[in-house]
């Protein structure tokens, strides 16, 4: 059974650690974090440490720190034949190339500590410096997820960019929608069924085909009405996205 150590207990590290703790086909043997506080949850269950020189021997070391700390942690790891991976969407695999066996183990999901996710559905993007290392990562990935993707660093960088659009930017549009409702004494929950249906649609058809609304129809009058009383900071976003939609469908606004 693969022995795993996780380094860095932020949102990704916490979720990955609790998931591996609960799987029968891999064994989490230790968690590391710079400060002790985030390790408390684990201290009755497995070994914890905030000292890189006290790491145990494992098959896979998973670096789950912020992007900028990855290289430093990697450089401070002991010399080993074990596999060293990071979990970053936008960090090249080569950042770990001082090690013999290294790779990337990138779960494409947004994590928070207080919301449990279903790991079986989370795409795990793996990349490795050799076929042998790749198959080790595949074994670990398969123990927690049904969706494994072989993705190289350039593709991962692109996926991460796409994720910013469909997660970070989408959430910001939800925020703007909530603001508009609240500023007009309307419970923002009124938007939830529409938000859910929008997602359901792209599961069964392409987003290109699912597009509706004034910009898609080239309905300049409605767009002008909306723009006339939008807050300045929302107006630019409304304009730019409407223009982009209109252009996509060959409409003029």
Within positions 142 to 171, which residues make up the interface with a copy of itself, using CB under 8 A?
Answer: 147, 149, 151, 154-155, 157-171
* Range in contact with a copy of itself (rule: CB under 8 A) among 25-33, 35-43, 127-135, 222-230: 222-230
Is 215 a binder of a copy of itself (CB under 8 A)?
yes
Interface with a copy of itself includes 193 (CB under 8 A)? yes
- Footprint on residues 7-66 left by a copy of itself (CB under 8 A): none
Nearer to a copy of itself, 40 or 187 (CB): 187
* Among the listed residues 246, 248, 198, the one whose alpha carbon sits nearest the alpha carbon of residue 222: 246
Between 44 and 203, whose beta carbon lies closer to a copy of itself? 203
Place of tokens 């190339």: 97
> Which residue's CB is nearer to a copy of itself, number 54 or number 120?
120
CA end-to-end span of the chain:
61
Token pair of 168 as six digits: 């970070």
- Reference 109, options 204, 2, 15, 35; nearest CA is 15
Cβ closest to a copy of itself, residue 24 vs residue 194: 194
∠ at Cα 64 (93, 48), nearest 5°? 135
Q: Which of residues 24, 51, 199, 232 is near a copy of itself by CB under 8 A? A: 199
* CA 154 to the chain's CA centroid: 16
What's the DSSP call for residue 165? I
208 binds a copy of itself per the rule CB under 8 A: yes
């Amino acid at each position: 059974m693969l022995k795993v150590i996780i380094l860095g207990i932020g949102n990704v590290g916490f979720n990955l650690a609790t998931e591996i703790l609960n799987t029968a086909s891999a064994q989490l043997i230790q968690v590391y974090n710079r400060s002790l506080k985030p390790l408390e949850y684990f201290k009755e269950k497995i070994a914890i440490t905030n000292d890189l020189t006290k790491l145990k021997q494992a098959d896979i070391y998973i670096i789950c720190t912020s992007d900028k700390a990855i290289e430093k942690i990697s450089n401070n790891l002991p010399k080993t034949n074990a596999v060293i991976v990071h979990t970053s969407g936008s960090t090249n695999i080569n950042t770990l190339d001082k090690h013999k066996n290294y790779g990337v183990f990138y779960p494409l999901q947004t994590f928070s500590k207080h919301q449990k996710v279903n790991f079986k559905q989370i795409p795990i993007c793996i990349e490795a410096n050799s076929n042998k290392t790749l198959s080790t990562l595949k074994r670990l990935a398969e123990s927690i997820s049904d969706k494994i993707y072989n993705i190289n660093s350039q593709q991962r960088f692109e996926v991460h960019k796409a994720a910013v659009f469909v997660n970070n930017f989408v959430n910001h549009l939800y925020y703007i929608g909530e603001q508009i409702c609240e500023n007009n004494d309307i419970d923002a929950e009124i938007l939830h069924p529409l938000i859910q249906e929008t997602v359901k649609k792209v599961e069964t058809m392409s987003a290109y085909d699912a597009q509706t609304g004034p910009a898609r129809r080239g309905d300049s009058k409605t767009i002008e009405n909306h723009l006339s009383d939008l807050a300045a900071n929302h107006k630019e976003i409304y304009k730019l996205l409407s223009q982009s939609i209109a252009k996509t469908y060959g409409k003029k606004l």
